[in-house]
Amino acid sequence: MPAKEASADDRIRQEKVKDIFIVLGNAVSAFRLYPSENPTVRNFISDLFERLSEYLDEYGELEVGIEEQAFTLEGRTILQDPNPVRSLPFFFFKDGMKTLEFHRGLQKSELDGFLEVIREVSQLPPEEGDIVNAMWELDFPNVRHVAPDDFLETKIGLARRVLRPELDVSSLSQGRIELAPEDLEEIRKSVLTLEKSKAGEGAVADPTFLEDIDKTLAKTSDREMVEIEALLAANRQLSQDEEYLSLILEIIYLEDRPEQFPAIADILEQYHQDALQKREFRRAAKLLRALSEIKELYATKNKLKSDLIESVISLVTRQSQLVDLREALDPNSISDSKGLFDYLLFFGSRSTGLVADIYEHATSQEYRRKALEILKEIGKTDIHKLMALVQESRPELSQEIIRLLSENADVRILNFLANIVAYKNPQVKLAAIQALGRIQDEAANKVLLGFLADANEEVRLGALDNMKKVADRQVLGRIIEAIKDKDFAKKSGREKKALFGVLGRSDSEEACSFLAEILGKVPFLPNPKHTELCLYSIGALEKMELASSREVLKLGAKRRHRKIRSACLAAIKTKSEIAVTYTGRTPR
């Protein structure tokens, strides 16, 4: 329809609308480039809102027509934009919008929402974005649009004729309908009843029928309304991801066509990837757990299906998943740590590297504890994987691994612990030493010997203290040699004491003889070093349970050296007290 000649008022109005749409275009451009809090964006929106509000206050509503390259007002072009890439008219036009309306009462939040939806849609691929869809769903009260259904005709039925029945309307008025006798008879009876009722002679219809209607079509009760509201609420609170997984698993459970499994595997893989990308490990773990269950279920019933499910599990838990996860995961920002660790359990020993990384880099004690739990589990089936984690570069983890390995005092780890002698980190060595101490095996004592040459005194001390009940002559011989060595004097008091302590704990006659020899030697001149040795020997003898140790002490108690003599007496007394404690009798 041709536009009529514009009056002066019309021209003013058109100018206002044009300005509004120029500002709208600027706002949209800014919105597409910057975040919504950006000052430039906010300024454009404020300006636009002000102009629109002013216009709507004056005119009540603003309705513009949308053409392929232009906005129009009452048939007149007010703004043209031929560029199809950024053109705002085309953006609306391509999805079938014919008019865009703003109404009095427009709120700023609505305008924000409108611009936001334009931004979101314009960021989607053309075949996915649909501004009409988006606006319809958001249903702004004061920003309306008209998009006639004809648009659907451009999308549907392109390759074929739109289905439509042929109808001869005139046939509806031609001919007669002859009712069957049985129907006529029933009609006759009903009409009779009705006439009687009109005349006040009876009920209109069967009372049971009316009662049923009453009951069935009665107003919805409060209880029923509450039930409906509850159904709606529950539906709205469904976890999309959980439900989706639940459905997929049911499909797997029911599906018996082997050729469908590759497609199902792809879907599960996508689901799995999505869960990992969103760091929703609980979901991923749930998937694997359920698949394992279904696999077990079919293991005897349908081996082929069980194998197919196993192949799905293998696809989903392939090694490269761990590699990717390892690269992408920040151990200090895991929101679903329980889920993560549950998930990693499914990978078994293949996850040791990632778990080790988590332990190393996580600051949360909770995460570290959980990581160790997993490693412990892994260690139960693959001890070598754990051993491989013990490295110089990971001192903290290495200590923990060693501790884990030693918890079961498994002699298999002896060779492994022996290698730690060569490590530089003293803490790791001490962990190994403690582990050896827990094993309480002669072989462990031999390995501990290796630490006696360590440069670090704490390491040496640790090794000595962890040599329990030494009986091996080679080990004892080494200890005795160390005491006899000229460098013994240079050792600290603690270390000297520790060396003698080993002899004391050995409870061996050979050790006892050696100690007796020291105690029995009386130097010609006072010799502090010798006195020191005697005192250490006395300490060791005190620890011994051998009867001969008491004898040696008795001999020592006769020494003229007061210190030695007192020490021996004290040692004897201690031994007696211990004996009474043990036997309840005072020893002779």
Q: Which of residues 365-384 bind another protein (CB under 8 A)?
A: none
Q: Which residues of 17-51 are buried (b: 16+ CB within 10 A; e: fewer)?
A: bebbbebbbbbbebbeeeeeeeeebeebbebbbeb
Stretch that binds another protein, among 103-111, 306-314, 386-394, 512-520 (CB under 8 A): 103-111
Q: Of 107 and 513, which CB lies nearer to another protein in the complex structure?
A: 107
Q: Of 180 and 422, which CB lies nearer to another protein in the complex structure?
A: 180
Site for another protein, residues 126 to 155, rule: CB under 8 A: 127-128, 130, 132-133, 136-137, 139, 141-142, 144, 146, 149, 151-153, 155
Q: Does 229 bind another protein (CB under 8 A)?
A: yes
Pairing of strands 99-103, 76-80: unpaired
Among 1, 8, 85, 162, binds another protein (CB under 8 A): 162
Q: Does 105 bind another protein (CB under 8 A)?
A: yes
What 3-state class would DSSP assign to 66?
Answer: strand
Q: Does 407 bind another protein (CB under 8 A)?
A: no
- Orientation of helix 457-465 relative to helix 442-449, angle to 10°: 160
Q: Of 72 and 508, which CB lies nearer to another protein in the complex structure?
A: 72
What 3-state class would DSSP assign to 80?
Answer: strand
Stretch 294-313: interaction string toward another protein, x if CB under 8 A: x--x----------------
Among 7, 216, 333, 393, binds another protein (CB under 8 A): 216
Q: Of 289 and 559, which CB lies nearer to another protein in the complex structure?
A: 289
Among 12, 33, 179, 411, binds another protein (CB under 8 A): 179
> How many chain residues interact with another protein (CB under 8 A)?
95
Stretch that binds another protein, among 17-25, 258-266, 435-443, 544-552 (CB under 8 A): 258-266
Assess contact for 283 and 242: CB atoms under 8 A.
yes
Site for another protein, residues 259 to 288, rule: CB under 8 A: 260, 263-264, 267, 270
Kindly report the backbone phi and psi dihedral angles of residue 199, in degrees, each rounded to the nearest multiple of 5, phi listed first. Answer: -85, 5
Stretch that binds another protein, among 19-27, 32-40, 250-258, 404-412 (CB under 8 A): 250-258
Q: How far is the CB of 48 from another protein (least distance, A)?
A: 18
Among 3, 12, 33, 251, binds another protein (CB under 8 A): 251
Q: Does 292 bind another protein (CB under 8 A)?
A: no
3-state helix/strand/coil string of 341-369: HHHHHCCHHHHHHHHHHHHHHCCCHHHHH
Q: Does 323 bind another protein (CB under 8 A)?
A: no
Largest CA distance in the chain: 150
Among 50, 68, 224, 509, binds another protein (CB under 8 A): 224
Residues recorded for the chain? 588
Q: Of 130 and 336, which CB lies nearer to another protein in the complex structure?
A: 130
3-state helix/strand/coil string of 529-585: HHHHHHHHHHHHHHHCCCHHHHHHHHHHCCCCCHHHHHHHHHHHHHHHHHHHHHHCC
Other C-beta atoms lying within 10 Å of the C-beta of residue 411 = 11
Stretch that binds another protein, among 191-199, 350-358, 374-382, 491-499 (CB under 8 A): 191-199
Among 247, 323, 453, 580, binds another protein (CB under 8 A): 247
- Angle, alpha carbons 438-429-377 (nearest 5°): 60
Site for another protein, residues 409 to 468, rule: CB under 8 A: none
Q: How far is the CB of 313 from another protein (least distance, A)?
A: 16
Q: Which residues contact 575 (CB under 8 A, 6 or more apart)?
A: 542, 549, 550, 553, 587
Q: How far is the CB of 113 from another protein (least distance, A)?
A: 14
Q: Which residues contact 149 (CB under 8 A, 6 or more apart)?
A: none
Listing from the earlier edge strand, what are the strands of the sheet with 99-103? 76-80, 70-73, 61-66, 99-103, 143-146
Token pair recorded at residue 493:
């008091």
Stretch that binds another protein, among 17-25, 172-180, 340-348, 570-578 (CB under 8 A): 172-180
Separation of CA 374 from chain center: 15
Q: How far is the CB of 11 from another protein (least distance, A)?
A: 18
Q: Of 186 and 485, which CB lies nearer to another protein in the complex structure?
A: 186
| Alpha-carbon dihedral sign for residues 544, 456, 472, 519 | negative
Q: Does 198 bind another protein (CB under 8 A)?
A: yes
User: What would the DSSP string read from start to end of 459-524?
Assistant: HHHHHHHT--S---HHHHHHHHHHHHSGGGGGS-HHHHHHHHHHHHHHT-HHHHHHHHHHHH---S
Token pair recorded at residue 139:
């249903």
Among 12, 33, 228, 489, binds another protein (CB under 8 A): 228
Q: Does 238 bind another protein (CB under 8 A)?
A: yes
Assess contact for 16 and 5: CB atoms under 8 A.
no
Q: Does 104 bind another protein (CB under 8 A)?
A: yes
Q: Of 33 and 213, which CB lies nearer to another protein in the complex structure?
A: 213
Q: Does 157 bind another protein (CB under 8 A)?
A: yes
Site for another protein, residues 37 to 76, rule: CB under 8 A: 56-58, 60, 63
| Distance of alpha carbon 526 from alpha carbon 396, whole angstroms | 49
Q: How far is the CB of 286 from another protein (least distance, A)?
A: 11
Site for another protein, residues 518 to 547, rule: CB under 8 A: none
Q: Does 250 bind another protein (CB under 8 A)?
A: yes
